[in-house]
Amino acid sequence: MNDSDPIGTQPAQRPYSFLWIALFVFGAVGIAANAFIRPEGMARRFAAVTTEERVLVEEVPEKAPEKVPEKVPEKAPEKAPAPAAAGDAGGDAAAPEPAATEPAATEPPAPKRKWVAPTDPGIASGALRRVEGVTPITWETREVLKPTEVEPRKAELVAGGPVRIESSPIDSLGIWIAALLTLFILSFVFRDNPFYKIAESLLIGVSAAYWMVLGFWSTLVPDLLGALAPGFVRANAIPSLPASETPTMDAALAFIPLVLGFMLLWRLAPKGGWISIWPIAFIIGTTAGIRLVGSIEADLMRQISRTMEPLVGFKDGVVNGELIRTFDFWGSVGSVVGVVGVLSVLTYFFFSVDHKGAVGRTARVGIWFLMISFGSAFGLTVMGRITLLLQRFEFLFTDWLGIS
Amino acid sequence: MTTKNTEQTPDGIRGFFVRLGRLDRRWIFLAMGLSIAVPILLGLRFPEVPSPMARATFDAVEDLPEGSLVLLSFDFDPASKAELQPMANALVHHCAAKGHKIVFMALWPLGKQMADQAIKDVLLEFHGGKYTYGTDYVKLGFKAGNEGVIKLMTTNLAEAFPTDAAGTALSNLPLVADIRDLDSFKLVSTVSAGYPGAKEWVQFGRESMKSDAQLTAGSTGVQASQLFPYYPKQLNGLLVAVKGAAEYETLVTEKYPVDRNAGRLEQGRIRMGPQLVAHLLMIALIVLGNIAMIASRGTQGGAR
Amino acid sequence: MLRRTVPILILASSGLLLFVSAFSPFTVGLQEIVLKWFNILAAVAFVLGAGNLLAVNLEQISSHRPGWAYSAITLAAFVGTLAVGMLKVGAVPNPMYPDVHFAGAHDDPQAPFGWIYGYMLVPLTSTMFALLAFYVASAAFRAFRAKNFEAILLLGTAFIILLSQTAAGMFLTGWIPEDSVFSFLRLDVIKRGITEYVQTAGMRAILIGIALGVAATSLRLIFGIDKSYLSKT
């Protein structure tokens, strides 16, 4: 094998080449005809584009009611304060005296600022006012439409409004790429080929990066960085990150997963990979602790209690207006089957005793229960697998070819 | 595409079945492809009769007082979308038609996108007029940690999700501002494709929920076998594979029909039509394979 | 000590804390902190997986092994998606904070990251799993042999389930009245009996066995009896 062979080619096998050529030509002609001749086209997409705009406003502070100015005491602060009078100056008695002789002026708090739409009713009513010198921010949002959805949406549009319908080449291209990638992977059922390998490589690269991005933005930024540097995260990524009551403690505690995280990544280093054992031990320990209780509670105790049902069942019924209890034959059969099944299957999995005699016969009954279970599981699995393929065909016929 | 076998091949019908046993599998692939593609193009559909499990799932949502707080966990990704998105859509429509307040979350990284799709296609399409973000529904998004997230939610929801998916603090969202933990929800429903999913919700979430709270699950066919023991005591309702989705859709759309884009709530029933032909093909393949095995007994060759 | 004792202590203390917290309300606060660390490390594991992918593919390319071009494609797809996602290129601004770039929605369908999801990741992932339908058919033809009674039981049950979960069940036995004595012959009734009683019993026993195994393994790990994870250095 040639070491510099980039795609690992194999000797070509070309059986029935004439048939394949005819199939490809016919397919290409059919797709071209579908794409260009049909009025709504093939895999064409449109977009309802809405222009959004936001302006920076600040809340207009309410006018405070006029008050009679209070007499401010002129004594020096080192003297003991006079006994509190009617309570007017009680709260100010211990406060340091201001240096100026005029009444203390309290700064009004800075008005809250926020971004709103220019049509926000608060601006018109005067509760909000635009901040001068700040350019409004505009952007467009796009909703993808199929060709059949265009006319109904156009009928809903308001002339001169912020929404317009236009062709969307990027989404049309996306449908084509999705269809080609689907066909590349489906080609594997014929035989392994470079197209399948390209699609497989794309899948591995895209999915690994996608999961990493999701983990970073959904967990690492709010939970880790948000604890270590909340101000930075609030200013640059999550402005409404909730403020902690104990930021210093949170930051100190967050150093532990930070350090453990770096130790975990040390696994990739050529030397010192043993360092990753600490965070791995933490993960294993936490998992073991959670699962120990969860599995005993839900899978052991509850399942045993569900098995211990009465073997003779009764059901309530109404006869001639009277409530009576009657023997529930099928319910009783079900209970007996349940108990026999659970005990016999458990006997089968008990390998400390030889499966001979009564134990062997019971284990055999257990095998029968297992075979029926696996047969049923197979039937359900088949339905699932077929549905997956069905959905891909739906996409190819409906979204790509537009023939269904 | 059949390869020539050098051993003795009997004549007649027996020989036919012996040769059939050596059939190149690509003919089987072609048969499977056609058995699904042709019914899709023909639009085969059949009526669905809801099973007791689907009815129990329906009742779990229907019997809740209007405006109850509900948690929907989207624990699947595009690989299982074909089976699970229909039941997720029907679930969202049912909860919205009952006026329940809905909190969306995901334990799978791509589950958030599945939830976004259900919100866009169903919640805002059919109920957008009465559902406002923050007061009627909230998207918590995805959080890494698998069962650790569920366990954390049983004691402190705000620790598990400090903000919603868009970065808004939960305290600024009226619907979830006062929620302490999982106990606050009257119904928790997971649409699950594997791990983490329904099993983890039963093991780590169910025990922390109030005894009158409901836990339901929608599951793929592959995973369903593991969930049967939990029904009906630990799981109040269970939808199994696309059949469960079709049955649940039937119940929901009969009670709460929609007047436009009805196809968004019929995906399960649409996908059941081609299932008939494909299932019959599977049975035929098993029977033919066994006949070929019997026919090959006594000859040197056998089925490949 | 650093390679053995400390990891054993870490595992034991975190496991015991989580175990005790199920019974003691006084340690719930500590449990929440530990679970938060666990969730963070789970996200770091994604980074680890991506880093491993980089390392393997870079090695493949640098050593020019056959098929290295596919590793280059993997890397290009990885780097492109990572850049677009981490930098939130083209993200839809957050209506409440449009001036903060990284507050925008990068997974919105109109953003490049959302485009990659909708037109690359979804078709690739879905179709890869859809291939299984072909292989289940091939396996049914080649491997499902009724050679003994147990195999006949399995196949017979599979037939009943395959028929009953489609319209075939309705056509074949749907005419039998539900309240008649012969209602047990209806395929949907047989299916319900199989799944709700027989299959449930079998899976219940398996669940009980698994639960015992999980409990035993967890206790062995927490008490330091099982140290197999230490050898993974």
ipTM: 0.89
| Residue A230 pLDDT exceeds 80 | yes
CB–CB of C166/B279 below 8 Å? yes
> Residue B252 sits in which domain range?
52-265
pTM score: 0.85
- What would the pLDDT profile of A291-313 be if each residue is shown by its tens digit? 998 889 889 999 999 898 888 88
Confidence of residue C222 (pLDDT cuts 50, 70, 90): very high
Both B77 and B202 in one domain: the answer is: yes
Is residue B302 in some structural domain?
no
Q: What is the mean pLDDT of residues C195-211?
A: 93
* Touching A: B residues 17-56, CB under 8 Å: 26, 29, 32-33, 36-37, 40-41, 43
Same structural domain, B37 and B65: no
Residues in chain B within 8 Å Cβ distance of A190: 26, 29
Q: How far is CA B105 from CA B142, B153, B188, in A?
A: 6, 11, 11
Rounded to whole angstroms, the Cα distance separating B238 from B224 reads 9
Domain shared by B203 and B290, yes or no: no
* Whether residue B57 is found in the same domain as residue B38: no
Average per-residue pLDDT for chain A: 83
Does B55 contact chain C (CB < 8 Å)? no
b/e map A292-331, b = 16+ CB within 10 Å? bbbbbbbbbebbeebbeeeeebeeeeeeeeeeeeeebeeb
Residue B17 is predicted with a pLDDT of 84
Q: How crowded is residue A194: how many other Cβ atoms within 10 Å of its Cβ?
A: 15
Residues B73-86 have a mean pLDDT of 94
Spell out where C87-198 has E strands.
none
B67: tokens are: 């405006």
pLDDT average, residue stretch B281-290? 93
Of A78-87, A134-143, A204-213, C217-226, the least confident: A78-87
Residue B150 phi, psi (nearest 5): -60, -45
Please give, rounded to a whole number of angstroms, the shortest distance from the CA of A251 to a CA of chain B.
15
B211 and B97 in a common domain: yes
Burial of C62 (0-12, 13-18, 19+ CB in 10 A): exposed
Residue of chain A nearest B172, judged by CA positions: A240
In a domain, B303, yes or no: no
Q: What proportions of chain B, in percent to the nearest 5, are helix, strand and coil?
A: 55, 10, 35
User: How many angstroms separate the CA of residue B207 from the nearest CA in chain C?
Assistant: 11
C-alpha span between A43 and B47 (Å, rounded): 31
Residue B3 belongs to a domain: no
pLDDT digit string, tens, across residues B92-124? 999 999 999 999 999 998 999 999 999 999 999
End-to-end CA distance of chain C: 15
B158 reaches C (C-beta below 8 A):
no
Residue A272 to residue A92: CA distance in whole angstroms: 64
Mutate which of A193, A295, A386 to test chain B, going by most B C-beta atoms within 10 A? Answer: A386
* The token pair that represents C220 in the structure block: 């062995």
At A9 the pLDDT is: 56
B253 occurs within a structural domain:
yes
Q: Which of B32, B110, B220, B277 to mutate to test the interface with A (most CBs of A within 10 A)?
A: B220
C-proximal residues of B, 20-39, CB under 8 Å:
23, 25, 28-29, 31-33, 36
Residue A330: what pLDDT?
A: 82
**φ/ψ of residue B4, rounded to 5:** -80, 130
Task: List, in order, residues 6 or more apart from A88 with CB less than 8 Å away.
Answer: A70
**Do B224 and B93 have their domain in common?**
yes
Least confident piece of the model among A1-15, A23-37, B78-92, C34-48: A1-15
How many whole angstroms separate alpha carbon A295 and alpha carbon A293? 6
Distances (CA, A) of B122 to A128, B95, B185, B236, B264: 35, 11, 22, 24, 7
User: Measured between alpha carbons, how far is residue A140 from residues A48, A163, A168, A270, C101 in Å?
Assistant: 10, 9, 13, 48, 15
Q: Which residues of A touch B87 (CB under 8 A)?
A: none
Of A270, A223, A329, the closest CA to residue B144 belongs to A223
pLDDT for A80 beyond 70:
no
Read off the pLDDT of residues A52-78 as tens digits, 9 standing for 90 and up.
999 999 988 876 665 556 655 555 544
For residue A55, give the amino acid letter: V
Q: Is the pLDDT of residue A90 over 80?
A: no
Helix (H, G, I), strand (E, B), or coil: what is residue B100?
A: coil
pLDDT of residue A83: 42
Axis crossing angle, helix C28-62 with helix C68-86, rounded to the nearest 10: 140
Kindly state whether residues B86 and B222 are assigned to the same domain.
yes
Domain boundary assignment for chain A: 12-41, 207-307, 313-392
Domain count, chain B: 2
Percent of chain A with pLDDT over 70: 84
User: Comparing A254-258, C153-157, C175-179, which segment has the lowest mean pLDDT?
Assistant: C175-179
Residues B112 and B193 in one domain: yes
Tell me the average pLDDT across B45-68. 93
Residue of A306, B61, B244, B32 whose CA lies nearest to C191: B244
Residues B261 and B278 in one domain: no
A16-40 confidence digits (pLDDT tens)? 677 777 877 878 888 877 777 776 6
Q: Is the pLDDT of residue A343 over 60?
A: yes
Both tokens of C76, joined, read: 């290009």
Across A265-280, average pLDDT: 87
3-state secondary structure of A226: helix
When CB atoms are compared, the residue of C38, C199, C200 closest to B148 is C38
> Is the preceding peptide bond at B196 cis, omega within 30 degrees of 0?
yes
In this structure, are residues C64 and A3 in contact, taking their beta carbons and an 8 Å threshold?
yes
**C108 or A94: which carries more pLDDT confidence?**
C108
**Predicted pLDDT of residue B199:** 94
Give the pair of three-digit tokens for residue C176.
């039998």
Nearest CA in chain C to A262: C44
In a domain, residue B114? The reply is yes
Residue B71 makes CB contacts below 8 A (sequence gap 6+) with B103, B105, B182, B185, B187, B188, B189
